[in-house]
Amino acid sequence: MKKLKLDEDEQALLEAFEAGHFESSLTPERKVFITKSAEATFIKDKKINIRISSRDLTAIQRRALEEGIPYQILVSSIIHKYISGSLSDILSNKSINNA
């Protein structure tokens, strides 16, 4: 794993954590709430039907096979990443950076 360069404050926090100087303030009630929220995030209760080109579908299926997951899960993941803002378009970023 790549070693990160930490400033003095970050290094002090890391050393304190590794020495066991921190205790969790997570209450059992908060843990239950967080667990239920996380489970609700992954509930897939709606279906959609879309039409895409056979070429795109084949490419998605190939990528899913490489990842070792069903292609439907890959599509769902792509949609989730897009709406949460964690999916970036590298082609548009290249054109912005080259401008």
Q: How much is the pLDDT for 96?
A: 53
CA 62 to chain CA centroid, nearest Å: 21
pLDDT tens figures, 25-77:
889 999 999 888 888 777 878 889 999 999 999 999 999 999 999 999 899 88
Q: What b-and-e string marks burial along 31-67, b requiring 16 or more CB atoms within 10 Å of the CB?
A: eeeeeeeeeeeeeeeeeeeeeeeeeeeeebeeebeee
| pTM for the structure as a whole | 0.51
d(CA 93, CA 99): 10
Tell me the average pLDDT across 71-85: 89
Per-residue pLDDT of 1-26, as tens digits, reads 567 788 999 888 889 889 988 887 88
